[in-house]
Amino acid sequence: MADVISAPFQSGVAPVRQRNYLTEPKGIKSWLTTLDHKRIGIMYLVSVMVAFLVGGVFALLIRLTLLNPAHTVFGHKLIDAQTYNEVFTIHGVVMVFLFIIPSIPASLGNFVLPLLLGAKDVAFPRLNLASLYLYWTGGIMAVTAIVTGGVDTGWTFYTPYSTSTNTAVSLMAMGIFVAGFSSIFTGINFIATMHKLRAPGMGWFDMPLFCWSMYATSLMQVLATPVLAITLLLMVVERVFRIGIFDASLGGDPVLFQHFFWFYSHPAVYIMILPGMACISEIIPVFSRKTIFGYRMVAFSSLGIALISFLVWGHHMFVSGQSQTATVVFSFLTMLVAIPTAIKIWNWLATLFHGSISLETPMIYALSFLLLFTIGGLTGVYLAALSIDVHLTDTYFVVAHFHYVMMGGSVMAFLGALHYWWPKMTGRMYNERLGQIAAVIVFVGFNATFFPQFVMGGQGMPRRYYNYLPQFEPMHAFSTVGSWIIAAGLFLTLGYLLASLRKPYDAPSNPWGGKTMEWLTQSPPVTENFEGQPIATHGPYDFFPVGTH
């Protein structure tokens, strides 16, 4: 039996690869009816990038509106309070449901999961295509809602405001309902794939850690998203039929909505971060040329986070009127979820330490993640502490906290992984120098935008505020300038990534010297992924010469 061990660093060797998943079969119809997880992943990638762009433009508009208390730019008032409320709602809805939740799992995950496992496809390719169409349908419904009336409830849709306002809430909610099924089906697909389609020789603890985190994410997608579905359905039915479940004047309870909503939406935020952690677990060992420290604990901590995530939803509701007993219990459990999270950070640091580190773009993003997610996570501890949360909830402190974990965490990881797998997906190397520069620009811009928001929040600046006290103007202005820096970095990134597509194929099969199975096949891969069935004969992070361990 021949052995399968990836070659050490390759460069300059360009196998013949004109025949690959991109070039054949040809034609739009072949793409729209494809069952190839790689093509589906690419279509998702383009879609989530469009969503990111739309959400980002709305973010820039938010920050521009808050540049000064008069909301003027060169003397012209941009938008009024009602429009502003719609803008931040759309920013939130698009970013949460159409960008971050699908981003890593559906685009990169779809592409790379079967390759990491040495499989030919995901378990249910037709279900995968259905996922994509559901996502597009939900997205179109959401965009229609935006364009035909807007939505002004905030992405959290709290009742009774959401059941009484005149904006296009129902259509938006049904759009998210549909897109939610896309998420559920992806979760089902990934779990089944990991159970049954691992390459021979790959036991559960031989899988790359990306897979473990995606497994935990998929569990949450499968178990939590249906609760969102029923919550949105109930909200829409309440709007249309006035059934009385959330409406106080009919005997309902508006806080009940919050319980339903956060029961999904708290696990949802871990659905957003765990895939990011998955990417970090891949990038750090490769660019440190050292095996991951504490493989088992990293794997178990993913499951631990998924489990505890279902038990802490009430920490969004400490001042909402839920029982005090519940509040105390939720605070305690929230402290616990920090523990597996911290464990991961320690393991990644221990992987770096005594490694052989190079700072290509994926690694810069991964190191950014470590720093920014740390801040995000530690500020979460502030919010878990009861007396502190009473002061900080519904202020800019919370806005800063979640942007640090979602953007400083997930999005940095997404960008890092995008660069990491870009050669595999496209067969081209991006411009490394520009990549590094853009990564640093985004890092600087990000901190400039969001760090002042911690300070503002602590000082009492509430969130979702169009008007603000003059004392906050300097920090708001600074934050707005930061947003322009982020935009510059991201547009630069988009630019050089697209530019790389005009080159001929120049990426080797294994540009980074990784040990996982996707590097065994050509860049870009053939449609069947591998020539034959690869067998796992070594671990995913075995960075040492053959025969030494």
Partner 1 sequence: MSSITTPVEGQDPEAVAHAHHDPNLRHHFATAEQQFDTVKIGIWLFLATEILMFGGLFAGFAYMQNRFPEAFFLGHKHLQQGLGTLNTVVLLISSFTMVMAVHKAATNKRKQLIVYLCITIFCAFVFLGVKYIEYSTHYYECMLPGKYYCNPEDPTGHQFIFFSFYFMMTGLHGIHILLGIVALSWLLRRAIRGDFSSSYYNPVDAVGLYWHLVDIIWIYLFPLLYLIR
Partner 2 sequence: MDWLRSLILPPEGSAYAGQVDSLYMFLTWLTIFFFLLIFGVIVYSVIKYRHKPGDVTPHWTHNNWLEFWWTLIPTIILIFIFFWGLRGYVEAEVPPGNAEEIQVTAKKWVWQFQYPDGNRAINEVHVLVNRPVKFIASSEDVIHDFFVPDMRVKHDVLPDRYVEIWFNPTVAGKHHFTCAEYCGRGHSDMAGTLYVDTPAEYEKWLETGGIDPNMPLDKLGAQLHDSKGCSTCHSIDGTPGQGPSWKGVFGHQVTLSNGQTVLADENYIRESILDPGAKVVKGYDNIMPVFQGVLRPREVDGLVAYIKTLGK
Residues with Cβ within 8 Å of residue 46, at least 6 apart in sequence: none
Q: 52 or 512, CB closer to partner 2?
A: 512
**Least distance in angstroms from the C-beta of 287 to partner 2:** 8
Q: Check if the beta carbon of residue 290 is closer than 8 Å to that of residue 351.
A: yes
127 binds, among partner 2, partner 1, none (CB under 5 to 8 A by kind): partner 1
Q: Name residue 395's beta-bridge partners.
A: 462
Smallest Cα–Cα separation from 208: which of 119, 82, 319? Answer: 119
Binding test (CB under 8 A) with partner 1, winner from 19, 242, 354, 433: 242
Token pair recorded at residue 76: 């012209």
**Least distance in angstroms from the C-beta of 13 to partner 1:** 9
260 binds partner 1 (CB under 8 A): yes
Give the pairing type, strands 76-77 and 72-73: antiparallel
Residues with Cβ within 8 Å of residue 98, at least 6 apart in sequence: 48, 51, 54, 55, 135, 138, 139, 142, 179
Smallest Cα–Cα separation from 134: which of 98, 168, 170? Answer: 98
State CA 208 to chain mean position distance. 19
Binding test (CB under 8 A) with partner 2, winner from 374, 431, 436, 537: 374
Q: Name residue 77's beta-bridge partners.
A: 72
19 binds partner 1 (CB under 8 A): no
Q: 82 or 533, CB closer to partner 1?
A: 533
358 binds, among partner 1, partner 2, none (CB under 5 to 8 A by kind): partner 2
Binding test (CB under 8 A) with partner 2, winner from 440, 459, 477, 492: 459
Q: 532 or 545, CB closer to partner 2?
A: 545
Phi/psi at 323 (5° precision): -65, 150
546 binds partner 2 (CB under 8 A): no
244 binds partner 1 (CB under 8 A): yes
Smallest Cα–Cα separation from 422: which of 511, 528, 530, 292? Answer: 511
Q: Check if the beta carbon of residue 310 is closer than 8 Å to that of residue 223.
A: yes
Residues 326-345 that bind partner 2 (CB under 8 A): 327-328, 331-332, 335-336, 338-339, 342-343, 345
**Least distance in angstroms from the C-beta of 212 to partner 2:** 15
Q: 61 or 132, CB closer to partner 1?
A: 132
CB atoms within 10 A of CB 292: 24
**Cα atoms in the Cβ-side hemisphere of radius 13 Å centred on 537:** 12
Total of chain residues touching partner 2, rule CB under 8 A = 89
Residues 129-168 that bind partner 2 (CB under 8 A): 152-154, 158, 160-161, 164-165
**Least distance in angstroms from the C-beta of 354 to partner 2:** 6
297 binds, among partner 2, partner 1, none (CB under 5 to 8 A by kind): partner 2
Q: 8 or 495, CB closer to partner 1?
A: 8
Q: Check if the beta carbon of residue 167 is closer than 8 Å to that of residue 149.
A: yes
Give, in order, the Cα–Cα distances in Å from 182 to each of 274, 327, 449: 18, 33, 32
**Least distance in angstroms from the C-beta of 349 to partner 1:** 32
Token pair recorded at residue 92: 């939130």
- Residue 158 is classified by DSSP as -
Residues 414-433 that bind partner 2 (CB under 8 A): none
Q: Name residue 462's beta-bridge partners.
A: 395
Token pair recorded at residue 47: 């879609």
Q: 244 or 474, CB closer to partner 1?
A: 244
Residues 57-116 that bind partner 1 (CB under 8 A): 114
Q: For helices 412-426 and 254-288, what crossing angle results, to 10°? A: 50
Site string (180-199) toward partner 1, x via CB under 8 A: ----x--xxx-xx--xxx--
14 binds partner 2 (CB under 8 A): no
393 binds, among partner 1, partner 2, none (CB under 5 to 8 A by kind): partner 2
496 binds, among partner 1, partner 2, none (CB under 5 to 8 A by kind): none
Give me the residues that bind partner 1 (CB under 8 A), please: 1-2, 4, 6-7, 10, 114, 119-125, 127, 184, 187-189, 191-192, 195-197, 200, 222-227, 229-231, 233-234, 237-238, 240-245, 250-253, 256, 260, 509-510, 520-521, 528, 530-535
